[in-house]
Amino acid sequence: MFNQPSKSLVTVPNPHPDRRYTVEMETQEFTTLCPMTGQPDFATIYIQYEPDQKLVELKSLKLYLWSYRNETSYHEDCVNRILNDFVAAAEPHYAKVVGDFTIRGGIHTKVTVEYRK
């Protein structure tokens, strides 16, 4: 079955809401389009969070990140938007998103944003 990109992050109940623990996710397949040139920008996205009552379902996260492939976005903007959408959906105790972008024009960009409840 073919899947379509989606801006929806699906959550499921956390089976251990009484315990503080860390979930770490990484994908090396993130792409977005440069607003200046229209050329693709590639990044590894790292997401770390301490869930409260909800967990983010991984396939929905994959489809959500996939939705950036046809959008123009500056590195700083898309990493902040990922964190904002993640926090809005999961309502975690803590979340951190790192976008580690490949070198473009001789410059390596790494954007880190955090949220604490």
Residue-wise pLDDT for 84-110, tens only, equals: 999 999 999 999 999 999 998 899 999
Is 69 inside any structural domain? yes
Is 56 inside any structural domain? yes
75 in a labelled binding site: yes
Produce one character per residue of 71-100: b if its CB has 16 or more CB atoms within 10 Å, e if not: eebebeebbbbbbebbbebbebebbbbbbb
Give the pLDDT confidence score for residue 2 in this predicted structure.
57
CB atoms within 10 A of CB 50: 17
Is 15 inside any structural domain? no
Is 3 inside any structural domain? no
| Number of domains present in the structure of the chain | 1
Task: Tell me the whole-structure pTM to 2 decimals.
Answer: 0.95
Is 2 inside any structural domain? no
Is 112 inside any structural domain? yes
Q: Which residues are catalytic?
A: 34, 41
What CATH number does the domain containing 102 carry? 3.30.1130.10
Is 29 inside any structural domain? yes
50 in a labelled binding site: no
9 in a labelled binding site: no
Is 59 inside any structural domain? yes
Determine the distance from the C-alpha atom of residue 73 to the mean position of all C-alpha atoms in its chain, rounded to a whole number: 14
Partners of residue 113 on adjacent β-strands = 97
Which structural domain, as residue segments, surrounds residue 51? 21-116
